[in-house]
Amino acid sequence: MTDATTPTSGPTPAQVEPEPVPNLPVRPPVPPMLAKPVKAMPKQDGTLIYEPKWDGFRCIVFRDGDEVYLGSRNERPFTRYFPELVEAVRAELPDRVVVDGEIVLPRGSQLDFEALQQRIHPATSRVRMLSEQTPASFVAFDLLALGSESLMETPFAERRERLEGIFGAAGRSIRLTPVTRDDGQAAEWFETFEGAGLDGIIVKPGDQPYVPDKRAMFKVKHERTADVVIAGYREHKTGPIVGSLLLGLYGDDGRLHHVGVAASFPMARRAELVEELRPYLADLGEHPWGHWAEQAAGTVGRPTPSPATGGQRVPGAVSRWNAKKDLSFIPLRPELVIEVAYDQMEGDRFRHTAQWRRWRPDRTPRSCTYEQLERPVSYDLDDILAR
């Protein structure tokens, strides 16, 4: 389950036919039950059930015969974007069922969240092409209804047993997440499964009903630190104060690559940062990312440039989730270094917003390279799902 932003924009109602709403005991839209972050793995108290935290799009699947509806976390359906999953649900799940889980995109032995993001596209022809080139899978971890019976009030331990019961003849596209009641085993999973693209552990009280839109579970995620270069900032939506700092790391090619942002500051601190950064204002033409607009325009519809592909990762011109959002930035001379906390990498950039920790006046910008980043132990995705 990911906290990544699901699409906030997309095809207008005029572009997409209204989707059928299955006639089930639990009907869409249902906002999924959520998890609150905790620093340490909760100890087993006799009720807890531990499972891997999947890195994809949270989705609740509703099936009523041939009618299939893929609900998203923000209640905007995924159905049109994943036609291969619609067919897989018809082939691999019971006739009338509601299942909570995660849409993921396996690439070899790992998950590829960046490729999964590319699946959200307004053009039907491209959706069809991507469904064949980069097919997604669905990992199930909860059962909300079966047949004419709602299981929303049923304790999770029982829901899990019922969920296992429908996977006797499941295929390769609809998979069941492993679970354990051993907190020691969960701690081992936390350390080893990250190499397959998973980003933590979800902890669920076994005696709990399904509570939509409530943080009634727990999540334990990785947190690491890195020293990064501040190369610019974007203004806050309320005015000329800092909205987010643009962060960079130097690659083996000697170029500064955009790796993410730090954005969680009190309003007063945002105003202070404007003054602290003012002496470092730079001309875009002389900035390492001065060609960002040209490069962004030339890569529309193509994979994002990165150190791994021989290109330079720079801030994009348009958000793929909101085409009206201006992502231009105020350039700064790349002379300031800060320490940030991050949970995991997505390819060559931070998967989520990084958290400011402190200034690092003792570090030179050129010393801020990818080499400092911790790489998780590699682990095969199929081995995890086979448990």
Nearest residue to 338 (alpha-carbon basis) of 228, 261, 259? 228
Nearest to 170 by CA among 98, 94, 109: 94
Kindly give the pairing relationship between strand 67-72 and strand 57-64.
antiparallel
325 is catalytic: no
Residues 6+ apart with CB under 8 A from 13: none
Distance, C-alpha 218 to centroid of its chain: 17
In this structure, the number of other CB atoms found within 10 A of the CB of residue 17 comes to 8
CA distance 372 to 229: 13
- Structural domains for the chain: 34-221 (3.30.470.30), 224-372 (2.40.50.140)
Q: How many CA atoms lie within 13 A of 100 on its CB side?
A: 25
Please choose, from the candidates 24, 9, 114, the residue with its C-alpha nearest in 3D space to the C-alpha of residue 61.
24
Q: For residue 108, what are the CA distances in angstroms to 11, 111, 183, 201?
A: 31, 8, 29, 22
- Amino acid 5: pLDDT: 36
Task: Please report the pLDDT score of residue 19 as a whole number.
Answer: 60
The pLDDT of residue 304 is 55
Instruction: Round to whole Å and give the CA distance between 258 and 246.
Output: 7
Q: What span, in angstroms and rounded, lies between the C-alpha atoms of 342 and 118? A: 23
Q: How many C-beta atoms surround the C-beta of residue 128 within 10 A?
A: 12
Going from the first residue of the chain to its last (387 residues), give the mean pLDDT of each consecutive group of 10, the final group possibly shorter.
38 42 88 93 97 94 96 86 96 96 90 88 93 96 97 98 83 91 95 82 97 95 90 91 95 92 92 95 89 51 54 59 59 95 83 90 91 75 78
Per residue in 197-208, pLDDT (tens digit) is 788 999 999 999
Q: How far apart are CA 136 and CA 65, in angstroms?
A: 21
Which residue is catalytic, options 53, 204, 219, 221? 53
Q: What is the pLDDT of residue 165?
A: 94
Tokens 């002496």, located at residue: 279
The identity of residue 382, as a single letter, is: D
Neighbours of 308 (CB within 10 A): 11
- DSSP string spanning 110-168? EE-HHHHHTT--S-HHHHHHHHHHS--EEEEEEEEEETTEE-TTS-HHHHHHHHHHT-T
Task: Give the C-alpha separation, 175 to 158, whole Å.
Answer: 19
